[in-house]
Amino acid sequence: MKRLFAVLAVLCAAKGFAASEPVLVHTAPLHNRLWMTVVSNEVPLAWEWPPDAHSAVLTLTGKYANETVAFDGVTTDWTWRPTDAPDVARDDVVDLLLTFRGAGDEPVGALAARLAVVAGAFRPVLVMPDASAPDWTRVKEDVVIGYDAAWQDTARSASGSRLVVVRPDGNPVTNMTADVSGFSLWRVKSEKWGFGAFTLALDFPGGEGGWESTLTRLPGGTWVGVR
């Protein structure tokens, strides 16, 4: 019996000090878009409950995700399911606002976040290893565009980001943000931007350098070339 207890003690000790599987840790929340990317249909949200809060309201606002959840009493977590049909999930950028209220229903604090739902994370997608493939420069639906000043060393001191989209008619549309890393939803279809070649330019005010690309949106149907 003593030997059995000794064996159990050794096994427990070995199990307690066993090496675990490596885990990816994101340590730069201001420059790490992985914090903001939704990769499954169950997103655990967690927060600290203020001591003077009696209730809270969480609002999720995006193009496809629009939801309001009320919490009565202390609640520190909730699971968000971005879509009821993962197989047909669509790109979206969702703003989350959690407002805490006191005993008299007055606001006593708030937390905000932005998450990007990328449809390719929910189902198999086509991988194009050839950077010269024409599909890289074509756009059909509203699309999520990521940006991060850390992509370029000369832009690390930036104070914000700027995305300029030049329409086929030559008119530019400028989108300014106060953050240096995140996502933006280009609603090229739902806002009826039209068809043709769009020039996109991304840079970071306060830093140096940027990127430029031309994307083409074609009308639906079949195109036939005749010589």
CATH of the domain at 66: 2.60.40
The residue from 121, 155, 190 where one domain ends is: 121
For residue 173, the enclosing domain spans 134-217
pLDDT value for 4: 38
pLDDT value for 222: 42
pLDDT band at 172 (very low <50, low <70, confident <90, very high): very high
Q: 154 and 88 in one domain? A: no
155 three-state secondary structure: helix
Mean local confidence (pLDDT), 103-117: 92
DSSP symbol at 84: S
Number of independent structural domains in the chain: 2
- Mean pLDDT over each residue of the chain, to the nearest integer: 81
Measured CA to CA, the distance from residue 8 to residue 226 in angstroms comes to 81
The helix or strand, by DSSP H or E, that contains position 169, with its residue range, turns out to be none
Of 45, 52, 51, give the one whose Cα is nearest residue 97: 45
Of 31, 53, 56, 54, give the one whose Cα is nearest residue 45: 56
pLDDT value for 127: 75
pLDDT band at 29 (very low <50, low <70, confident <90, very high): low
Q: 70 and 44 in one domain? A: yes
Measured CA to CA, the distance from residue 148 to residue 158 in angstroms comes to 10
Top-confidence residue, 117 or 14:
117
**pLDDT > 90: what percent of the chain?**
36
Residue 142 has pLDDT above 50, yes or no: yes
Q: Is residue 89 part of a domain?
A: yes
Cα–Cα distances (Å) from 19 to 11, 16, 124, 225, in that order, read 14, 9, 33, 62
Q: 200 and 140 in one domain? A: yes
Q: 80 and 44 in one domain? A: yes
Residue 180 has pLDDT above 70, yes or no: yes
The residue from 71, 91, 121 where one domain ends is: 121
The residue from 121, 144, 178 where one domain ends is: 121
74-80: Cβ within 8 A, 24+ apart: 74/49, 75/49, 76/46, 76/47, 76/48, 76/49, 77/44, 77/45, 77/46, 77/47, 78/45, 79/42, 79/43, 79/44, 79/45, 80/42, 80/43, 80/45
Q: 114 and 190 in one domain? A: no
Q: Is residue 153 part of a domain?
A: yes
Mean local confidence (pLDDT), 97-103: 96
DSSP symbol at 86: G
